[in-house]
Amino acid sequence: MRTNKKLSVKSVLAILMCLTMLTVSACSKQEAANKGGNAKDDNGGYKDKLKISVASTLQLKNGDMNNEFHKFWMDKFNIDWDYNYVEWDSWDEKLRLWINSGDLPDVATWQYNNADALNYIDQGLLYKLPDDWKERWPNVAAAYKLTGLGEKLEEKTGGTYVLPRPVYYENKPADPLLNQIGVIALRKDWAKAVGFPVKDQYTTSELMQYAKLVKEKDPGKVGSKLVPISYNAADALTNIIMANSEHSRVESAFYKGADGKYHWGPADPETLTGLKLMQKAYKDGLLNPEFYTWKNNEGSDNFRVKGVAAITSLGGLASYRQDMDNNMKKNLNLNSSDVVQTAIVVGDDGKYRNLEQVNFWSALVFSPNISKEKFERIMDLLDYSTSKEGQLLLNMGFEGKDWKYGDNKELVNLLPEGTTMDTKYPNRFEGLYLLGDDFSVINPAIKKEFRDTAIKHYQDKAKLSKEGGKMATYDWDFQLYDSKAKSQAAFEYEKEYTNLILQDGDLETNWKKWVDSKKSLVQPLLDELNNMKK
């Protein structure tokens, strides 16, 4: 039996208050969702256009943005970019100036330096990401986790201020992963002409022997323009000195030895071995007389553009090999597969040396003054760019136009022969975060033979490292250690080594004097490291 009960005035007011609170709560949630640069229109697009300043080492020129690729990204995220191009040679200096003066663009690619990072964070010069950023942008968070550095920094600083850029995400080519440096390219047609064997790995002295034969016989008929070994100072350090001394580079110069104590690699006898080989190459005229003045691509251009070099430093990425192929076809009318051999460089003792590759290179940082709207819009872009759909777009272009799926769901490149994403869509910077190394392992726009060879080099490096090689492991304790002594013991080793091999007198005597001259800076750091609390 139904009964009718009158509601009291108090009950009616309570109900009305509840309804009002629910409405306010719903409105508040909707209002919150529409703030932070994420207000959407009925079609799911961003309502407000944001002008966001960005600093990048990519060469952004007037007119370069006027293509379909850039339009897609700017329209999708309703962004108007304010570009700030940074020269490679002034990258460190310019970012340091911007950060310290408070003039950092909204987002910037930064050549990560741990001491500087801790200093900047302590001074409030970098933006702190919100505590829940990993939940809101899961694709970025997943890639970030693989860098190792991100979480190590969080332990030290109590938050996220830096986004290290991952090298590999889903396509890691080998384990252990060795640095991609330490691969060279040589003219195998010239090698055959002078009776030199074509192999997958060479000692440093074997490469010098080949260069000497080419210098004597000039199989390419290039005359006085010939550059037997076309290395700049950094290349010479990588392929001559490091091949014989894994602790000769800045990344591994301070290392923990078998005795459990820290040592300084440039003072090791193996470094002297590398220096002697480098000096011999210079005195024998195998290195260019002005090799140490070269910048950027000057060394490799002698090989791939001018066609006057017998050997050049290449690096292990398949994309580098594809770029060489395109350049040789365009500038020299040569099919590089017929004339180029890539190989790993080992020490004169037959042992392979390289650095363990940590899974990051450089980092993204944000201005401490960036608005919430701009920060969140950038992060939305990063999260999309790190997704499968975003990676396909970034690295292969538009489905149906630049690529398609084959019958077996494999990726098929549709770009014309000789055309790359870089030439069709210049300065593909919008990905900003995940490096292209990862996708280059599977990218069909790169010839399969180049991809297969690159993977083989990585796998051979891993095998050689396990079988008597000397891998310089990545030491997190040292890398994340910061002190005045560490800052003072930072040297530009390629310049130091070049000065040594150019000096008059006996090299070993000069090297010993140089080692002694650095002791006042090196020893305090060694003492600190050897007394470091674990």
Residues 430 and 344 in one domain: no
Query: Is 444 contained in some domain?
Result: no
Query: Is 22 contained in some domain?
Result: no
Q: Which of 199, 147, 171 is nearest to 344 (CA)?
A: 199
- What pLDDT does 57 receive? 83
How many whole angstroms separate alpha carbon 491 and alpha carbon 499? 13
Instruction: Give me the percent of the chain exceeding a pLDDT of 70.
Output: 90
Task: Give the number of domains in the chain.
Answer: 2
Question: Regarding predicted confidence, which is higher, 32 or 223?
Answer: 223
* Position 3 pLDDT exceeds 60: no
Question: Regarding predicted confidence, which is higher, 21 or 183?
Answer: 183
- What pLDDT does 430 receive? 65
Q: Kindly state the tokens that stand for 503.
A: 């000096």
Three-state DSSP string of 291-337 = HHHCCCCHHHHHHHCCCCEEEEECCCCHHHHHHHHHHHHHHHCCCHH
How many whole angstroms separate alpha carbon 65 and alpha carbon 71? 8
Query: Is 424 contained in some domain?
Result: yes
Residues 144 and 228 in one domain: no
* Position 5 pLDDT exceeds 60: no
Q: Which of 423, 516, 371 is nearest to 38 (CA)?
A: 371
Residues 211 and 95 in one domain: no
Residues 485 and 340 in one domain: yes
Query: What's the average model confidence in pLDDT over 440-455?
Result: 93
The DSSP bridge partners found for residue 164 are 363
Residues 311 and 371 in one domain: no
Contacts of 392 (CB under 8 A, 6+ apart): 399, 403, 411
Residues 144 and 258 in one domain: no
Residues 352 and 364 in one domain: no
On average, the pLDDT of the chain sits at: 90
Burial class (CB in 10 A: 0-12, 13-18, 19+), 161: buried
* Position 235 pLDDT exceeds 80: yes
Per residue in 61-72, pLDDT (tens digit) is 554 667 889 899
* Position 382 pLDDT exceeds 50: yes
Residues 416 and 390 in one domain: yes
Per residue in 258-297, pLDDT (tens digit) is 999 999 999 999 999 999 999 999 999 999 999 999 988 9
Q: Which CATH number belongs to the domain containing residue 118 in this structure?
A: 3.40.190.10
* Position 14 pLDDT exceeds 60: no
Residue-number span of the structural domain to which 191 is assigned: 183-356+469-530
Per residue in 457-489, pLDDT (tens digit) is 999 999 999 999 999 999 999 999 989 999 999
- What pLDDT does 426 receive? 78
CA distances in angstroms from 334 to 203, 216, 511, listed in the order given: 27, 23, 43
* Position 155 pLDDT exceeds 50: yes
The DSSP bridge partners found for residue 313 are 184
Residues 349 and 367 in one domain: no
Band (528; pLDDT cuts 50, 70, 90): very high
